[in-house]
Amino acid sequence: MASETTGVSGLAERYAAALFDLADERRILDEVATNLRELRAMLQASGDFLRLIRSPVLSRAPQ
């Protein structure tokens, strides 16, 4: 529900579509998929990493 009111879902969809288009254009879809699976595993394995990525308090530089 929050994503509908903040537009986060739409933003995520645009980034996902852009990532897919670039990976497809460069013929590296499998490599990108592997990288995304590895990122998901790291986020699931580390609560600290997940909090760091999701924190609205930290700017990009400290992250």
* Domain range summary for the chain, segments of one domain joined by +: 2-54
Report pTM: 0.68
Q: What is the pLDDT along the chain (63 residues), one digit of tens a residue?
A: 444 445 567 888 999 999 999 999 999 999 999 999 999 999 999 999 998 888 878 776 766
Characterize 4-20 residue by residue with b for buried, 16 or more Cβ atoms within 10 angstroms of its Cβ, and e for exposed.
Answer: eeeeeeeeeeeeeeeee
